[in-house]
């Protein structure tokens, strides 16, 4: 599985990259059966939605998981980047479970 991380209005540090890898590591285990059907890839976008606001839902996390012709998409906003990553991971996990159990 290939993983692409993109950022907007923030710098991708090693700490953020490691945290994303840790939070989304379970995806490769759950998507193994799709790898035989075609390429599996995950695009992650992390962004700071505004440069001048300091309060409110300032950070945004989006994941697009491509599974051999299917797309699972999750997006969340939060006051903290790590919280947005956690929230989008949980949303993606629910959507993937729904697909795997249908």
Q: Give residue-wise pLDDT tens across range 67-89.
A: 878 899 999 999 999 999 999 99
Convert the pLDDT of each residue in 48-70 to its tens digit. 987 666 666 689 999 999 987 88
Please measure the distance between the N-terminal and C-terminal CA atoms of the chain and give it in whole angstroms: 22
- Strand pairing class (40-48; 70-78): unpaired
**Domain extent for 62:** 2-100
Convert the pLDDT of each residue in 9-46 to its tens digit. 999 999 999 999 999 988 888 888 777 777 789 999 99
Residue count (the chain): 102
Q: What is the pTM of this model?
A: 0.88
Q: Residue 12: which CATH number? A: 3.30.160.100
Domain count, the chain: 1
Confidence (pLDDT) at 101: 81
Confidence (pLDDT) at 54: 62
């Amino acid at each position: 599985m290939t993983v692409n991380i993109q950022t907007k209005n923030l710098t991708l540090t090693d700490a953020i990259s490691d945290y994303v890898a840790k939070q989304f590591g379970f995806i490769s285990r759950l998507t193994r059966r799709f790898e035989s059907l075609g390429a599996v890839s995950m695009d992650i976008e992390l962004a700071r939605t505004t440069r001048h606001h300091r309060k409110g839902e300032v950070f945004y996390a989006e994941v697009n998981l491509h599974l051999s012709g299917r797309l699972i998409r999750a997006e969340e906003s939060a006051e903290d980047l790590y919280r947005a990553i956690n929230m989008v991971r949980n949303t993606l996990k629910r959507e993937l479970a729904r697909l795997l159990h249908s």
